[in-house]
Chain A
């Protein structure tokens, strides 16, 4: 695949590190919004190689992590029904609900299937006309076009046994929520490149104007991340805040218009509860009235759901960048990927999982880090 080795070149990375060192004169705190970026940073050790003046705070951009507990519990209840084939992206399966996860539902006889695209769930619905096929439609703006397309297609085909449990979340309101927090320390943002490939970056301009924070659209490979950091530091040091694009090979100002039109048709904005963070106004998408027949939350009566989060889990603070994962008392003790207390320990994009997987809970003797 092109665009792999090119953006991992150690020599070019060295040059970017040197340039970042050269222009950094004081302590700066920036947040990488997307969990994919967090993993790239931790996996490649970028945070350890940056100079000590730069503090990276891991943002809430892990869709699996922020999907509210009551939605997960609803998914578990629907998936357990005999008449349902429940389809989901893989990393949702181990996310703990109040008492179970989807893997356990599967083990108890629920028909839970991992799919790679919501369009696969459409195929399953066509092939199983006597079953209700439910797709767990979560994610940020990145996954919205494909999710929207599947609902659109289901309607076009008159597919009555397909529905979606929707819990979409949006980046710009989350950035505002971070900035509005009285304990916020974040001075700049690395915006999530793949979200911007769909939405463009025009929607960040009002945030920059209002809060005077630099926002730099950033990719995921090591050189992408470093270039994003370099541009961010340059802005911070100059005192001028603007929206900049450090990921031009995938992102332009307006984004993908066709995808946006489809999203506008299928979804509408709603208030959304973020797991660990709380209600953020206007931060989600739900199915629009035109497609409400396909809403699994309406189609299935799952009764009262009483949610309960483990008390010791501090994933909310992790998601808001208030603490690092290994500052949580439960990290690596009660809470491990084997027995996660919070979703941030589960998903391949969760900050706690990244810290655990790449060994940030132990000092490595005899190895320079």
Chain B
């Protein structure tokens, strides 16, 4: 997360100071737009591709196949415990590209700003995007800004599109998942969703739940470097772990069995879920990955994940079976089984 940067920290803030908030002109393509680019975006994202300021970034693509992914970010509130919408917009797309087994290299970014959005908050968000991009090792090479009338947006929406390069020998697809494969998760589930919910709804929990937003591409690279035969890899974002496991079960036409007790859930998240009647299996994550590997590579995979800060709580949570194809089943702590279905819509907090 950005550490509270303000417009004062920027290289030549004077022209922007006259307008403390976003006005329609900032998206109009005229002087105000140019000032925003020159004094806010360029200093933050500085790189040779961006500096040309052409209509399109021109880049040399490394040889081989590319992976490409796009995602729009509309999270409210814009700044939340553990991150902000900017960091999320970079990490989210980096992760989507990385889950294909690609090395993310470039991002585009498009901002839709609402008239009246404070520019110093935008600056903080942009700076945190820059930090996240640097940490992930990707460059933001093209962008766009539009402004919508007050009341027609939530301050800021961000779309990012990412491009990554695939190694020759990588073929990761859930359809390759086979019975006896082991399912691993890189850490606790439900952190992001409950962090957002705790601030969005003004719920005051005893301890602050932090979003887990993080770029997973370095951990993915470590697995692929070690020649782990990754069958499937997913970041369980919206719909949570339950949706991801169901996607894998459906795509590979296999059954998935999860040991409920082995799925790590932070105590504060578990408590918040209990209080609101939510199931952490369905709560969003933004810095976790589910990895499916052959059983004889599970220990090695876990060791590699443990060596990464983001994977230190990685653990095996279940296995792939031949029975009940397309269905995810959880073994409960008491020894019974239940089906883990995909959620219809959003989880609704219960009445009591």
CB closest chain-A residue, reference B325: A365
The answer to whether A367 touches B334, judged by C-beta atoms less than 8 angstroms apart, is no
> Among B321, B340, B347, which residue has its beta carbon within 8 angstroms of that of A366?
B321
Interface-forming stretch among B79-87, B180-188, B266-274?
B266-274
Kindly state the separation between the CA atoms of A42 and B333 in the bound complex, as whole angstroms: 13
Answer whether residue B322 sits at the interface, using C-beta atoms and an 8 A cutoff: yes
Answer whether residue B276 sits at the interface, using C-beta atoms and an 8 A cutoff: yes
The answer to whether B352 touches A46, judged by C-beta atoms less than 8 angstroms apart, is no
The answer to whether B334 touches A44, judged by C-beta atoms less than 8 angstroms apart, is yes
Kindly state the separation between the CA atoms of A126 and B228 in the bound complex, as whole angstroms: 59
A contact residues around B270 at 8 Å (CB): 1, 4
Q: What is the total number of residues of chain B having a CB less than 8 Å from a CB of chain A? A: 35
> Among A1, A114, A357, which residue has its beta carbon within 8 angstroms of that of B341?
A357
User: In the complex, how many angstroms separate the beta carbon of B320 from the nearest chain A beta carbon?
Assistant: 12
A contact residues around B202 at 8 Å (CB): 120
User: In the complex, how many angstroms separate the beta carbon of B279 from the nearest chain A beta carbon?
Assistant: 8
Answer whether residue B4 sits at the interface, using C-beta atoms and an 8 A cutoff: no
Kindly state the separation between the CA atoms of A6 and B39 in the bound complex, as whole angstroms: 57
For chain B, residues 231 to 285, give those with C-beta under 8 angstroms from any C-beta of chain A. 255, 257, 267, 270-271, 274, 276-277
Contact with B along A43-58 (1 / 0, CB 8 A): 1111011000000000
The answer to whether A367 touches B350, judged by C-beta atoms less than 8 angstroms apart, is no
A364-B329, A366-B255 known; A116 vs B277 contact (CB < 8 Å): no
Interface centre among B277, B347, B351 (most CB of A within 10 A): B351
Kindly state the separation between the CA atoms of A358 and B335 in the bound complex, as whole angstroms: 15
Kindly state the separation between the CA atoms of A338 and B334 in the bound complex, as whole angstroms: 29
The answer to whether A337 touches B338, judged by C-beta atoms less than 8 angstroms apart, is no
User: Interface size bucket, A side?
Assistant: 35 or more
The answer to whether B333 touches A222, judged by C-beta atoms less than 8 angstroms apart, is yes
B contact residues around A93 at 8 Å (CB): 348
Kindly state the separation between the CA atoms of A368 and B324 in the bound complex, as whole angstroms: 12
B contact residues around A281 at 8 Å (CB): none
The answer to whether B335 touches A10, judged by C-beta atoms less than 8 angstroms apart, is yes
Answer whether residue A142 sits at the interface, using C-beta atoms and an 8 A cutoff: yes
The answer to whether A367 touches B271, judged by C-beta atoms less than 8 angstroms apart, is no
The answer to whether B277 touches A348, judged by C-beta atoms less than 8 angstroms apart, is yes
Contact with B along A337-356 (1 / 0, CB 8 A): 11000000001110000001
- The 10 lowest CB-CB distance pairs between A and B, nearest first, are A45-B336, A366-B323, A359-B339, A1-B271, A90-B348, A90-B349, A358-B338, A89-B351, A348-B350, A142-B352
Residues in B lying within 8 Å of A, measured CB to CB = 201-203, 255, 257, 267, 270-271, 274, 276-277, 321-324, 327, 329, 332-341, 344-345, 347-352
Instruction: Show 19 A/B contacts (Cβ-Cβ < 8 Å), sorted by A.
Output: A36-B350, A45-B336, A90-B350, A91-B277, A91-B350, A114-B201, A139-B351, A347-B351, A348-B350, A349-B350, A357-B341, A364-B323, A364-B324, A364-B327, A366-B321, A366-B323, A367-B323, A367-B329, A368-B337
- If A36-B350, A90-B350, A365-B323 are given as contacts, then 14 extra A-B residue pairs at C-beta distance below 8 Å, sorted by A number, are A1-B274, A4-B274, A13-B334, A44-B333, A45-B336, A63-B352, A120-B202, A140-B352, A336-B344, A359-B329, A359-B341, A364-B327, A367-B257, A367-B324
